[in-house]
Amino acid sequence: MSLQLSSNAPNFTQDSTNGTLNFYEYLGDSWGILFSHPKDFTPVCTTELGSVAKLEDEFEKRDVKVVALSVDSRESHEAWIKDINETQNTEVNFPIIADEDRTVAEAYGMIHPEASDTLTVRSVFIIDPKKKIRLTLTYPAPTGRNFEEILRALDGLQLTDQHLVATPANWKNGDNVIILPSIQDKDELAARFPKGYEELTSYLRITAQPET
């Protein structure tokens, strides 16, 4: 059975380019993004890991630790990182898991036999500080991921946790947000949203994005 939203993220200890890595210990109290790529020394994956490396400051700003994974060896990862750094003009500092025995890939359902019975698909898991899975994405092998969209979704999740708001379609950081329907008490609404809100319907209430 595949992992679902709010499932506990499986812990693991596995070899990586940063040495032996225990996932829970590495994350600590931070948010985490675990993403898999099908194979080292492939063109789309090279651009993806380069893109993630360039967003290092953005992830740090959001207290997010990033971990990549494939079923290739640590030695392969280390050799490939040199290519990524050179061709993408960046420096990969986040760990890449060497999941040669597929322990992590199988625990997270990253291998889809109809696509490939040996290689991982392009999976993404956003994991909160309580080690709960908050978002999952799956891309086919030929399609590169949009990590700006992953950052956008992460901003929305963190905003929801802090302020009990939801983000509308095509929301970007700084846009208006939606008050959760679960908040009905007038005093609580006034305390949480001092700038007021617009009630379009009884269930659709728009307010300015709270300060983060």
Q: Which residues are catalytic?
A: 45
How far from each other are the two terminal CA atoms of the chain, in whole angstroms? 36
Amino acid at 14: Q
Residue 22 has what DSSP assignment?
Answer: E
Q: Which helix (H) or strand (E) holds 45?
A: helix 43-54
Distance CA(130)–CA(31), nearest Å, equals: 9
Calculate ∠ Cα 62-130-206, nearest 5°.
60
Contact 92, 114 (CB under 8 A): no
